[in-house]
Amino acid sequence: MTRKLKQLPTFASEAEERQFWKTHDSTDYLDWSRAKPARFPNLKPSTTAISIRLPLSLLEKIKMEANKRDVPYQSLIKIWLAEMTKNAA
């Protein structure tokens, strides 16, 4: 038995749509059984700049290690953090 789906409203902004989905169930509006996986290979993750205080000696060691690997030191820090969070899961 197929159930009648509700008509999806038109939203004036993303904020309005976000507010709508906070209080509504998507299964009333979408047939998830027909959903297909999607890939977005060119989508870049958003980033946020942070500030972190490090002892100068530690920063120099990180820079030397990055130089050995021929990568920018900030990229090396991101790689290490990603590995740490992956292993922690």
Per residue in 46-86, pLDDT (tens digit) is 888 999 999 999 999 999 999 999 999 999 999 999 999 98
Q: What is the pLDDT of residue 30?
A: 92
DSSP summary character for residue 27: G
Q: Give yes or no for a contact between 76 and 65, defined as CB atoms under 8 angstroms apart.
A: yes
Conformation bin of residue 47: beta by default, left when phi > 0, alpha when psi is -120 to 50: beta
Write the pLDDT tens digit of every residue in 7-57.
999 999 999 999 999 999 999 999 999 999 998 888 888 888 999 999 999
How many Cα atoms sit within 13 Å of 23 on the Cβ side? 4
Would the pLDDT of 2 be above 90? no
13 DSSP assignment: S
